[in-house]
A and B are shown apart, each in its own frame.
Chain A
Amino acid sequence: MAQALNDLFAAWGLSGGFVNVIWALVKALLVLGFILLNALLLIWAERKVAGHIQQRPGPNRLGPFGLFQTFADALKLLFKEDVIPAAADRVLFVLAPIVTFASGVLVYVVIPWTPDIVVRDLNIGLIYVAAASSFMVISFLMAGWSSNNKWSLLGAMRSAAQLVSYEVPLALAVVSTAILAGSLSLYDIVQAQAEWGVWFIVLQPVGWLVFLIATLVELNRGPFDMPESESELVAGFNTEYSGMRWAIFFLTEYASLTAAGALNAILFWGGWLGPSFLPPAAWMLIKVYGFVFFAMWIRWTFPRIRVDHLMGMGWKVLIPAGVVQLLATSAIVLIWG
Protein backbone atom coordinates (compact mmCIF):
# COMPACT_ATOMS: atom_id res chain seq x y z
CA MET A 1 0.00 0.00 0.00
CA ALA A 2 2.86 2.33 0.87
CA GLN A 3 4.42 1.62 -2.53
CA ALA A 4 1.11 2.28 -4.32
CA LEU A 5 0.83 5.67 -2.59
CA ASN A 6 4.42 6.52 -3.51
CA ASP A 7 3.66 5.66 -7.16
CA LEU A 8 0.56 7.84 -7.01
CA PHE A 9 2.58 10.80 -5.67
CA ALA A 10 5.19 10.24 -8.39
CA ALA A 11 2.41 10.21 -11.04
CA TRP A 12 1.20 13.58 -9.70
CA GLY A 13 4.72 14.89 -10.16
CA LEU A 14 5.45 15.50 -6.46
CA SER A 15 9.09 15.65 -5.40
CA GLY A 16 10.86 13.69 -2.63
CA GLY A 17 10.80 16.29 0.15
CA PHE A 18 7.12 17.01 -0.36
CA VAL A 19 6.22 13.32 -0.31
CA ASN A 20 8.09 12.98 2.99
CA VAL A 21 5.99 15.76 4.47
CA ILE A 22 2.77 14.09 3.29
CA TRP A 23 3.91 10.77 4.78
CA ALA A 24 4.70 12.45 8.09
CA LEU A 25 1.20 13.98 8.14
CA VAL A 26 -0.46 10.65 7.29
CA LYS A 27 1.46 8.88 10.05
CA ALA A 28 0.69 11.63 12.56
CA LEU A 29 -3.02 11.36 11.74
CA LEU A 30 -2.91 7.57 12.16
CA VAL A 31 -1.22 7.92 15.56
CA LEU A 32 -3.73 10.58 16.66
CA GLY A 33 -6.65 8.42 15.53
CA PHE A 34 -5.25 5.45 17.42
CA ILE A 35 -4.72 7.51 20.58
CA LEU A 36 -8.28 8.93 20.53
CA LEU A 37 -10.04 5.59 19.89
CA ASN A 38 -7.73 3.77 22.29
CA ALA A 39 -8.48 6.25 25.08
CA LEU A 40 -12.25 6.00 24.57
CA LEU A 41 -12.08 2.20 24.79
CA LEU A 42 -9.61 2.15 27.70
CA ILE A 43 -11.70 4.52 29.82
CA TRP A 44 -14.64 2.17 29.30
CA ALA A 45 -12.39 -0.81 30.12
CA GLU A 46 -11.03 0.91 33.22
CA ARG A 47 -14.55 1.54 34.52
CA LYS A 48 -15.59 -2.04 33.77
CA VAL A 49 -12.48 -3.46 35.49
CA ALA A 50 -13.03 -1.17 38.49
CA GLY A 51 -16.69 -2.24 38.57
CA HIS A 52 -15.85 -5.94 38.62
CA ILE A 53 -13.20 -5.49 41.30
CA GLN A 54 -15.65 -3.50 43.44
CA GLN A 55 -18.49 -6.00 42.72
CA ARG A 56 -20.71 -3.62 40.75
CA PRO A 57 -21.58 -3.70 37.05
CA GLY A 58 -19.83 -0.52 35.87
CA PRO A 59 -21.26 1.37 32.88
CA ASN A 60 -24.03 -0.80 31.35
CA ARG A 61 -26.77 1.44 29.98
CA LEU A 62 -25.60 2.94 26.72
CA GLY A 63 -24.91 0.45 23.94
CA PRO A 64 -23.80 -3.18 24.37
CA PHE A 65 -22.05 -3.58 27.76
CA GLY A 66 -22.20 0.21 28.16
CA LEU A 67 -19.62 0.53 25.39
CA PHE A 68 -20.92 3.91 24.16
CA GLN A 69 -20.75 5.53 27.59
CA THR A 70 -17.33 7.12 27.01
CA PHE A 71 -18.39 8.41 23.57
CA ALA A 72 -21.27 10.21 25.29
CA ASP A 73 -18.91 11.47 28.00
CA ALA A 74 -16.49 12.78 25.38
CA LEU A 75 -19.33 14.64 23.63
CA LYS A 76 -20.43 16.13 26.95
CA LEU A 77 -16.86 17.32 27.66
CA LEU A 78 -16.63 18.88 24.19
CA PHE A 79 -19.75 20.97 24.78
CA LYS A 80 -18.82 22.11 28.29
CA GLU A 81 -18.06 25.74 28.98
CA ASP A 82 -14.38 26.61 28.69
CA VAL A 83 -13.53 27.95 32.15
CA ILE A 84 -10.24 29.67 32.97
CA PRO A 85 -10.00 30.86 36.59
CA ALA A 86 -9.75 34.64 36.94
CA ALA A 87 -6.54 34.45 38.98
CA ALA A 88 -4.86 31.95 36.65
CA ASP A 89 -1.85 32.66 34.48
CA ARG A 90 -3.84 32.41 31.24
CA VAL A 91 -1.05 31.59 28.79
CA LEU A 92 0.51 28.84 30.89
CA PHE A 93 -2.94 27.52 31.85
CA VAL A 94 -3.81 27.05 28.16
CA LEU A 95 -0.35 25.76 27.20
CA ALA A 96 -0.08 23.08 29.90
CA PRO A 97 -2.52 20.51 28.41
CA ILE A 98 -1.00 21.06 24.96
CA VAL A 99 2.52 20.32 26.23
CA THR A 100 1.21 17.27 28.10
CA PHE A 101 -0.47 15.88 24.99
CA ALA A 102 2.54 16.61 22.76
CA SER A 103 4.78 14.77 25.22
CA GLY A 104 2.44 11.77 25.23
CA VAL A 105 2.17 11.66 21.43
CA LEU A 106 5.92 12.11 20.75
CA VAL A 107 6.71 8.77 22.40
CA TYR A 108 4.65 6.96 19.73
CA VAL A 109 7.15 7.96 17.03
CA VAL A 110 9.67 5.24 17.89
CA ILE A 111 7.38 2.41 19.03
CA PRO A 112 7.57 -0.55 16.62
CA TRP A 113 4.26 -2.44 16.67
CA THR A 114 5.54 -5.04 14.21
CA PRO A 115 8.80 -5.09 12.19
CA ASP A 116 6.99 -3.03 9.51
CA ILE A 117 4.59 -0.82 11.47
CA VAL A 118 6.64 1.96 13.04
CA VAL A 119 6.54 5.71 12.41
CA ARG A 120 10.34 6.03 12.48
CA ASP A 121 12.88 3.75 14.10
CA LEU A 122 15.62 5.93 15.65
CA ASN A 123 19.02 4.61 16.69
CA ILE A 124 18.66 6.66 19.90
CA GLY A 125 15.16 5.21 20.51
CA LEU A 126 15.36 4.73 24.28
CA ILE A 127 16.97 8.12 24.96
CA TYR A 128 14.37 9.70 22.69
CA VAL A 129 11.54 8.14 24.73
CA ALA A 130 13.05 9.43 27.97
CA ALA A 131 13.58 12.91 26.49
CA ALA A 132 10.06 13.11 25.01
CA SER A 133 8.40 12.01 28.24
CA SER A 134 10.43 14.49 30.29
CA PHE A 135 8.14 17.28 29.02
CA MET A 136 5.35 15.65 31.02
CA VAL A 137 6.78 16.88 34.35
CA ILE A 138 7.15 20.43 33.05
CA SER A 139 3.57 20.45 31.80
CA PHE A 140 2.28 19.27 35.18
CA LEU A 141 4.28 22.02 36.89
CA MET A 142 2.88 24.55 34.41
CA ALA A 143 -0.67 23.35 35.05
CA GLY A 144 -0.27 23.35 38.83
CA TRP A 145 1.45 26.71 39.09
CA SER A 146 -0.68 28.58 36.54
CA SER A 147 -3.92 27.48 38.25
CA ASN A 148 -2.98 29.71 41.21
CA ASN A 149 -4.55 27.29 43.64
CA LYS A 150 -2.78 25.64 46.56
CA TRP A 151 -4.11 22.15 45.82
CA SER A 152 -2.91 22.41 42.25
CA LEU A 153 0.50 23.65 43.37
CA LEU A 154 0.87 20.84 45.93
CA GLY A 155 -0.13 18.26 43.33
CA ALA A 156 2.33 19.69 40.81
CA MET A 157 5.17 19.65 43.34
CA ARG A 158 4.42 16.06 44.29
CA SER A 159 4.37 15.05 40.66
CA ALA A 160 7.71 16.76 40.03
CA ALA A 161 9.28 15.08 43.07
CA GLN A 162 8.05 11.61 42.21
CA LEU A 163 8.63 11.80 38.46
CA VAL A 164 12.19 13.08 38.84
CA SER A 165 12.96 10.50 41.54
CA TYR A 166 11.63 7.54 39.60
CA GLU A 167 13.22 8.54 36.30
CA VAL A 168 16.54 7.30 37.75
CA PRO A 169 15.58 3.66 38.50
CA LEU A 170 13.55 3.58 35.27
CA ALA A 171 16.58 4.64 33.26
CA LEU A 172 18.81 2.11 35.07
CA ALA A 173 16.41 -0.75 34.34
CA VAL A 174 15.91 0.27 30.71
CA VAL A 175 19.62 0.78 30.01
CA SER A 176 20.33 -2.81 31.10
CA THR A 177 18.17 -4.11 28.25
CA ALA A 178 19.99 -1.79 25.83
CA ILE A 179 23.32 -3.20 27.02
CA LEU A 180 22.11 -6.77 26.45
CA ALA A 181 20.90 -5.85 22.95
CA GLY A 182 23.91 -3.66 22.17
CA SER A 183 21.65 -0.93 20.77
CA LEU A 184 19.30 1.86 21.87
CA SER A 185 16.92 1.26 18.97
CA LEU A 186 13.66 -0.37 20.07
CA TYR A 187 13.57 -2.42 16.87
CA ASP A 188 17.09 -3.77 17.52
CA ILE A 189 16.18 -4.65 21.10
CA VAL A 190 13.35 -6.91 19.91
CA GLN A 191 15.59 -8.36 17.18
CA ALA A 192 18.22 -9.15 19.82
CA GLN A 193 15.61 -11.09 21.80
CA ALA A 194 14.77 -13.02 18.61
CA GLU A 195 18.47 -13.82 18.07
CA TRP A 196 19.12 -14.83 21.66
CA GLY A 197 16.00 -16.98 21.52
CA VAL A 198 14.99 -15.76 24.97
CA TRP A 199 12.97 -12.77 26.14
CA PHE A 200 14.78 -10.33 28.41
CA ILE A 201 12.25 -10.91 31.21
CA VAL A 202 13.97 -14.29 31.75
CA LEU A 203 17.45 -12.70 31.89
CA GLN A 204 16.46 -9.61 33.91
CA PRO A 205 13.57 -10.36 36.27
CA VAL A 206 14.86 -7.82 38.83
CA GLY A 207 15.27 -5.18 36.13
CA TRP A 208 11.71 -5.83 35.01
CA LEU A 209 10.34 -5.40 38.55
CA VAL A 210 12.19 -2.08 38.88
CA PHE A 211 10.90 -1.04 35.45
CA LEU A 212 7.33 -2.06 36.33
CA ILE A 213 7.16 -0.12 39.62
CA ALA A 214 8.95 2.94 38.23
CA THR A 215 6.67 2.97 35.16
CA LEU A 216 3.52 2.83 37.28
CA VAL A 217 4.88 5.75 39.33
CA GLU A 218 5.77 7.73 36.19
CA LEU A 219 2.25 7.19 34.88
CA ASN A 220 0.81 8.85 38.03
CA ARG A 221 -1.56 5.93 38.43
CA GLY A 222 -2.84 4.39 41.62
CA PRO A 223 -1.46 3.27 44.01
CA PHE A 224 1.06 5.97 43.10
CA ASP A 225 -1.34 8.79 42.12
CA MET A 226 -0.21 11.23 44.82
CA PRO A 227 -0.14 14.17 42.34
CA GLU A 228 -3.92 14.06 42.09
CA SER A 229 -4.94 12.12 45.21
CA GLU A 230 -8.57 13.22 45.26
CA SER A 231 -9.12 12.53 48.97
CA GLU A 232 -6.64 15.19 50.07
CA LEU A 233 -5.84 17.46 47.10
CA VAL A 234 -9.31 17.66 45.39
CA ALA A 235 -7.78 16.62 42.03
CA GLY A 236 -4.15 17.67 42.36
CA PHE A 237 -2.57 19.60 39.53
CA ASN A 238 -5.70 19.47 37.34
CA THR A 239 -8.12 20.76 40.01
CA GLU A 240 -8.96 23.94 38.08
CA TYR A 241 -9.28 22.24 34.71
CA SER A 242 -12.64 21.33 33.21
CA GLY A 243 -14.19 20.43 29.89
CA MET A 244 -11.91 19.67 26.98
CA ARG A 245 -8.69 20.82 28.66
CA TRP A 246 -9.32 18.38 31.50
CA ALA A 247 -10.17 15.69 28.96
CA ILE A 248 -6.81 16.22 27.26
CA PHE A 249 -5.00 15.36 30.52
CA PHE A 250 -6.95 12.12 30.66
CA LEU A 251 -6.47 11.39 26.99
CA THR A 252 -2.72 11.72 27.57
CA GLU A 253 -2.85 9.48 30.62
CA TYR A 254 -4.31 6.65 28.55
CA ALA A 255 -1.97 7.34 25.63
CA SER A 256 0.98 7.12 28.05
CA LEU A 257 -0.43 3.98 29.66
CA THR A 258 -0.60 2.26 26.26
CA ALA A 259 2.87 3.52 25.31
CA ALA A 260 4.21 2.15 28.61
CA GLY A 261 2.57 -1.19 27.77
CA ALA A 262 4.30 -1.14 24.39
CA LEU A 263 7.69 -0.34 25.99
CA ASN A 264 7.17 -3.11 28.54
CA ALA A 265 6.40 -5.56 25.72
CA ILE A 266 9.35 -4.43 23.58
CA LEU A 267 12.01 -4.28 26.30
CA PHE A 268 11.16 -7.36 28.33
CA TRP A 269 8.50 -9.52 26.65
CA GLY A 270 9.85 -9.89 23.13
CA GLY A 271 7.66 -7.29 21.41
CA TRP A 272 5.91 -8.86 18.42
CA LEU A 273 7.68 -12.23 18.88
CA GLY A 274 5.59 -15.29 19.67
CA PRO A 275 4.44 -18.65 18.30
CA SER A 276 3.49 -18.32 14.63
CA PHE A 277 -0.20 -19.29 14.93
CA LEU A 278 -0.93 -15.60 15.54
CA PRO A 279 0.44 -12.70 13.42
CA PRO A 280 3.16 -10.49 15.02
CA ALA A 281 0.75 -7.55 15.44
CA ALA A 282 -1.62 -9.74 17.47
CA TRP A 283 1.18 -10.80 19.84
CA MET A 284 2.21 -7.20 20.30
CA LEU A 285 -1.35 -6.07 21.06
CA ILE A 286 -1.91 -8.97 23.47
CA LYS A 287 1.23 -7.98 25.41
CA VAL A 288 0.40 -4.26 25.36
CA TYR A 289 -3.17 -4.68 26.58
CA GLY A 290 -2.09 -7.38 29.02
CA PHE A 291 0.07 -4.74 30.67
CA VAL A 292 -2.75 -2.19 30.52
CA PHE A 293 -5.12 -4.62 32.23
CA PHE A 294 -2.45 -5.40 34.84
CA ALA A 295 -2.00 -1.69 35.57
CA MET A 296 -5.78 -1.27 36.01
CA TRP A 297 -5.93 -4.33 38.26
CA ILE A 298 -3.14 -2.88 40.47
CA ARG A 299 -4.80 0.54 40.54
CA TRP A 300 -8.12 -0.74 41.85
CA THR A 301 -6.79 -3.27 44.37
CA PHE A 302 -4.05 -1.39 46.23
CA PRO A 303 -4.55 1.62 48.53
CA ARG A 304 -2.59 4.78 47.71
CA ILE A 305 0.79 4.75 49.46
CA ARG A 306 2.19 7.64 51.48
CA VAL A 307 4.41 10.27 49.83
CA ASP A 308 7.44 9.68 52.08
CA HIS A 309 7.10 5.90 51.72
CA LEU A 310 7.09 6.36 47.96
CA MET A 311 10.27 8.45 48.06
CA GLY A 312 11.94 5.99 50.44
CA MET A 313 11.13 3.06 48.17
CA GLY A 314 12.47 4.90 45.14
CA TRP A 315 15.77 6.08 46.58
CA LYS A 316 16.57 3.28 49.03
CA VAL A 317 15.27 0.19 47.24
CA LEU A 318 14.74 0.70 43.51
CA ILE A 319 17.84 2.79 42.74
CA PRO A 320 20.29 0.42 44.51
CA ALA A 321 18.55 -2.55 42.86
CA GLY A 322 18.82 -0.80 39.50
CA VAL A 323 22.51 0.00 39.99
CA VAL A 324 23.34 -3.60 40.97
CA GLN A 325 21.32 -4.81 37.97
CA LEU A 326 23.21 -2.46 35.63
CA LEU A 327 26.65 -3.42 37.01
CA ALA A 328 25.87 -7.14 36.86
CA THR A 329 24.55 -6.89 33.30
CA SER A 330 27.56 -4.89 32.14
CA ALA A 331 29.99 -7.32 33.78
CA ILE A 332 28.27 -10.38 32.28
CA VAL A 333 28.11 -8.83 28.82
CA LEU A 334 31.81 -7.82 29.07
CA ILE A 335 32.94 -11.28 30.14
CA TRP A 336 30.72 -13.56 28.06
CA GLY A 337 29.31 -11.20 25.48
Chain B
Amino acid sequence: MTVSDVLFLAICLITLVAAWRVVVSAKVMHAALWLGLTFFGVAAVFLMLSADFVAAAQVLVYVGAITVLLIFGIMLSEGTEGTPRGSERSSLGRKVAPVGAAAGFAALMVYLYHQAGLRQPPPAEVATDTPRAIGTLLFSDFVIPFEVASLVLLVGMVGAIVLAMREEG
Protein backbone atom coordinates (compact mmCIF):
# COMPACT_ATOMS: atom_id res chain seq x y z
CA MET B 1 0.00 0.00 0.00
CA THR B 2 1.33 3.43 -0.91
CA VAL B 3 1.08 6.56 1.19
CA SER B 4 -1.80 7.85 -0.94
CA ASP B 5 -3.72 4.59 -0.42
CA VAL B 6 -3.42 5.00 3.35
CA LEU B 7 -4.46 8.65 3.07
CA PHE B 8 -7.43 7.74 0.89
CA LEU B 9 -8.62 5.04 3.33
CA ALA B 10 -8.23 7.42 6.29
CA ILE B 11 -10.21 10.14 4.51
CA CYS B 12 -12.94 7.65 3.55
CA LEU B 13 -13.14 6.38 7.13
CA ILE B 14 -13.46 9.91 8.53
CA THR B 15 -16.08 10.85 5.93
CA LEU B 16 -18.16 7.72 6.49
CA VAL B 17 -18.00 7.93 10.29
CA ALA B 18 -18.99 11.61 10.09
CA ALA B 19 -21.90 10.77 7.76
CA TRP B 20 -23.03 8.03 10.15
CA ARG B 21 -22.88 10.45 13.09
CA VAL B 22 -25.06 12.94 11.14
CA VAL B 23 -27.84 10.36 11.20
CA VAL B 24 -27.47 9.09 14.77
CA SER B 25 -26.60 12.30 16.67
CA ALA B 26 -29.23 13.15 19.28
CA LYS B 27 -28.56 16.89 19.09
CA VAL B 28 -29.36 18.61 15.79
CA MET B 29 -26.41 20.96 16.30
CA HIS B 30 -24.00 18.03 16.51
CA ALA B 31 -25.56 16.47 13.41
CA ALA B 32 -25.03 19.74 11.50
CA LEU B 33 -21.36 19.92 12.53
CA TRP B 34 -20.79 16.27 11.60
CA LEU B 35 -22.36 17.13 8.23
CA GLY B 36 -19.76 19.88 7.89
CA LEU B 37 -17.01 17.31 8.52
CA THR B 38 -18.59 15.00 5.92
CA PHE B 39 -18.46 17.77 3.32
CA PHE B 40 -14.85 18.44 4.28
CA GLY B 41 -14.01 14.75 3.82
CA VAL B 42 -15.57 14.80 0.37
CA ALA B 43 -13.45 17.86 -0.45
CA ALA B 44 -10.37 15.91 0.64
CA VAL B 45 -11.32 13.10 -1.77
CA PHE B 46 -11.61 15.68 -4.59
CA LEU B 47 -8.16 16.95 -3.62
CA MET B 48 -6.73 13.44 -3.88
CA LEU B 49 -8.17 13.29 -7.42
CA SER B 50 -6.15 16.44 -8.29
CA ALA B 51 -9.42 18.38 -8.55
CA ASP B 52 -8.12 21.25 -6.43
CA PHE B 53 -10.62 23.83 -7.68
CA VAL B 54 -13.59 21.55 -7.02
CA ALA B 55 -12.21 20.77 -3.54
CA ALA B 56 -11.87 24.45 -2.64
CA ALA B 57 -15.32 25.23 -4.06
CA GLN B 58 -16.76 22.30 -2.09
CA VAL B 59 -15.35 23.68 1.18
CA LEU B 60 -16.35 27.23 0.32
CA VAL B 61 -19.94 26.43 -0.61
CA TYR B 62 -20.82 23.39 1.51
CA VAL B 63 -18.81 24.04 4.68
CA GLY B 64 -18.68 27.82 4.53
CA ALA B 65 -22.22 28.59 3.40
CA ILE B 66 -24.61 25.64 3.60
CA THR B 67 -23.48 24.26 6.97
CA VAL B 68 -23.38 27.76 8.43
CA LEU B 69 -26.90 28.57 7.22
CA LEU B 70 -28.08 25.22 8.56
CA ILE B 71 -26.60 25.95 12.01
CA PHE B 72 -28.01 29.47 11.85
CA GLY B 73 -31.46 28.01 11.20
CA ILE B 74 -31.04 25.53 14.08
CA MET B 75 -30.10 28.35 16.45
CA LEU B 76 -33.19 30.34 15.42
CA SER B 77 -35.57 27.42 15.98
CA GLU B 78 -36.65 26.07 19.33
CA GLY B 79 -36.51 22.56 20.70
CA THR B 80 -33.18 21.56 19.28
CA GLU B 81 -32.28 19.69 22.45
CA GLY B 82 -33.21 16.13 23.30
CA THR B 83 -34.34 13.30 21.08
CA PRO B 84 -35.23 13.94 17.43
CA ARG B 85 -38.91 14.13 16.63
CA GLY B 86 -40.50 10.79 15.81
CA SER B 87 -37.71 8.66 17.27
CA GLU B 88 -40.01 7.36 20.04
CA ARG B 89 -42.33 5.73 17.51
CA SER B 90 -41.05 2.70 15.68
CA SER B 91 -43.18 1.34 12.90
CA LEU B 92 -42.05 -1.18 10.33
CA GLY B 93 -41.83 1.55 7.65
CA ARG B 94 -39.32 3.49 9.73
CA LYS B 95 -37.06 0.48 9.87
CA VAL B 96 -37.46 -0.60 6.26
CA ALA B 97 -37.29 2.83 4.62
CA PRO B 98 -33.65 3.70 5.46
CA VAL B 99 -32.41 0.19 4.64
CA GLY B 100 -34.31 0.28 1.34
CA ALA B 101 -32.96 3.71 0.45
CA ALA B 102 -29.40 2.66 1.26
CA ALA B 103 -29.74 -0.57 -0.74
CA GLY B 104 -31.18 1.32 -3.72
CA PHE B 105 -28.35 3.84 -3.61
CA ALA B 106 -25.75 1.08 -3.36
CA ALA B 107 -27.31 -0.72 -6.34
CA LEU B 108 -27.27 2.50 -8.36
CA MET B 109 -23.59 3.06 -7.51
CA VAL B 110 -22.64 -0.50 -8.48
CA TYR B 111 -24.57 -0.14 -11.75
CA LEU B 112 -22.91 3.19 -12.56
CA TYR B 113 -19.48 1.84 -11.71
CA HIS B 114 -19.75 -1.28 -13.85
CA GLN B 115 -22.15 -0.37 -16.65
CA ALA B 116 -22.20 3.34 -17.36
CA GLY B 117 -18.62 3.56 -18.60
CA LEU B 118 -17.34 5.33 -15.49
CA ARG B 119 -14.74 2.64 -14.91
CA GLN B 120 -11.98 4.14 -16.96
CA PRO B 121 -8.25 4.26 -16.33
CA PRO B 122 -7.20 7.63 -14.87
CA PRO B 123 -5.94 10.09 -17.50
CA ALA B 124 -2.17 10.01 -17.88
CA GLU B 125 -1.95 13.77 -17.76
CA VAL B 126 -3.80 15.79 -15.13
CA ALA B 127 -4.71 19.38 -15.97
CA THR B 128 -2.71 21.81 -13.84
CA ASP B 129 -4.63 25.00 -14.61
CA THR B 130 -7.96 23.62 -13.36
CA PRO B 131 -9.83 26.94 -12.88
CA ARG B 132 -9.23 27.90 -16.52
CA ALA B 133 -10.18 24.43 -17.79
CA ILE B 134 -13.40 24.35 -15.74
CA GLY B 135 -14.31 27.90 -16.75
CA THR B 136 -13.80 27.14 -20.45
CA LEU B 137 -15.90 23.96 -20.21
CA LEU B 138 -18.69 25.72 -18.30
CA PHE B 139 -19.02 28.37 -20.98
CA SER B 140 -18.73 26.07 -23.99
CA ASP B 141 -19.85 22.41 -23.67
CA PHE B 142 -21.89 22.82 -20.50
CA VAL B 143 -23.30 26.30 -20.98
CA ILE B 144 -26.95 25.18 -21.01
CA PRO B 145 -26.84 23.05 -17.81
CA PHE B 146 -24.84 25.88 -16.21
CA GLU B 147 -27.45 28.50 -17.09
CA VAL B 148 -30.33 26.21 -16.09
CA ALA B 149 -28.67 25.68 -12.69
CA SER B 150 -28.41 29.43 -12.19
CA LEU B 151 -32.07 29.77 -13.16
CA VAL B 152 -33.03 27.16 -10.53
CA LEU B 153 -31.12 29.15 -7.91
CA LEU B 154 -32.81 32.36 -9.01
CA VAL B 155 -36.27 30.77 -8.75
CA GLY B 156 -35.35 29.45 -5.30
CA MET B 157 -34.28 32.93 -4.21
CA VAL B 158 -37.46 34.57 -5.53
CA GLY B 159 -39.50 31.88 -3.76
CA ALA B 160 -37.72 32.54 -0.46
CA ILE B 161 -38.33 36.27 -0.77
CA VAL B 162 -42.03 35.75 -1.58
CA LEU B 163 -42.42 33.43 1.43
CA ALA B 164 -40.68 35.82 3.80
CA MET B 165 -42.30 39.02 2.46
CA ARG B 166 -44.78 40.81 4.72
CA GLU B 167 -48.18 41.63 3.21
CA GLU B 168 -48.58 45.34 2.53
CA GLY B 169 -51.19 47.24 4.58
Chain A: residues with CB nearer than 8 A to chain B?
17, 92, 122-124, 127-128, 130-132, 134-135, 137-138, 141-142, 145, 153, 156-157, 160-161, 163-164, 167, 184
Report whether B131 and A167 are in contact in the complex, using a CB–CB cutoff of 8 Å.
no
CB-nearest residue of chain B relative to A184?
A: B131
Q: Identify the 6 closest CB pairs spanning chains A and B, nearest first.
A: A134-B64, A131-B59, A127-B56, A131-B60, A131-B56, A160-B72
Q: Tell me if B68 is interfacial: C-beta within 8 Å of chain A.
A: yes
Q: Tell me if B78 is interfacial: C-beta within 8 Å of chain A.
A: no
Bound form: Cα–Cα A57–B110 in Å: 71
Report whether A127 and B76 are in contact in the complex, using a CB–CB cutoff of 8 Å.
no
- Residue numbers in A under 8 Å from B69 (CB-CB): 164
CB-nearest residue of chain B relative to A137?
A: B68
Report whether B3 and A17 are in contact in the complex, using a CB–CB cutoff of 8 Å.
yes
Report whether A157 and B129 are in contact in the complex, using a CB–CB cutoff of 8 Å.
no
Q: How far is the CB of A226 from chain B (nearest CB, A)?
A: 15
Report whether A131 and B68 are in contact in the complex, using a CB–CB cutoff of 8 Å.
no
> What number of B residues sit within 8 Å (CB to CB) of A?
24
Report whether B36 and A138 are in contact in the complex, using a CB–CB cutoff of 8 Å.
yes
Bound form: Cα–Cα A153–B29 in Å: 13
CB-nearest residue of chain A relative to B71?
A: A141
Q: Pick the contact of B33: A128, A142, A153, A156 (CB < 8 A).
A: A142
Q: Tell me if B154 is interfacial: C-beta within 8 Å of chain A.
A: no
Report whether A135 and B75 are in contact in the complex, using a CB–CB cutoff of 8 Å.
no
Report whether B68 and A127 are in contact in the complex, using a CB–CB cutoff of 8 Å.
no
Q: Can you list, as one digit per residue, whether each of B104-144 has a CB less than 8 Å from chain A (1) or not (0)?
A: 00000000000000000000000011110000000000000
- Residue numbers in B under 8 Å from A134 (CB-CB): 59-60, 63-65, 68
On whether A157 and B75 interact (CB within 8 A), knowing A124-B52, A124-B53, A164-B68, the answer reads: yes
CB-nearest residue of chain A relative to B58?
A: A131
On whether A135 and B63 interact (CB within 8 A), knowing A123-B129, A127-B57, A128-B56, the answer reads: yes
Report whether B60 and A160 are in contact in the complex, using a CB–CB cutoff of 8 Å.
no
Q: Tell me if B67 is interfacial: C-beta within 8 Å of chain A.
A: yes
Bound form: Cα–Cα A163–B67 in Å: 13
Bound form: Cα–Cα A132–B55 in Å: 11
Bound form: Cα–Cα A161–B60 in Å: 16
- Residue numbers in B under 8 Å from A127 (CB-CB): 53, 56-57, 60, 131
Q: How far is the CB of A153 from chain B (nearest CB, A)?
A: 6
Report whether B65 and A123 are in contact in the complex, using a CB–CB cutoff of 8 Å.
no
Q: How far is the CB of B71 from chain A (nearest CB, A)?
A: 5
- Residue numbers in A under 8 Å from B59 (CB-CB): 131-132, 134
For the A-B complex with A124-B130, A157-B76 known, give 5 more contacts whose Cβ atoms are closer than 8 Å: A124-B53, A124-B56, A130-B60, A138-B33, A138-B67
CB-nearest residue of chain B relative to A123?
A: B129
Q: How far is the CB of B79 from chain A (nearest CB, A)?
A: 15
Bound form: Cα–Cα A68–B22 in Å: 48
Bound form: Cα–Cα A141–B30 in Å: 12
Q: Pick the contact of B68: A92, A123, A124, A141 (CB < 8 A).
A: A141
- Residue numbers in B under 8 Å from A164 (CB-CB): 65, 68-69, 72
Report whether B71 and A138 are in contact in the complex, using a CB–CB cutoff of 8 Å.
yes
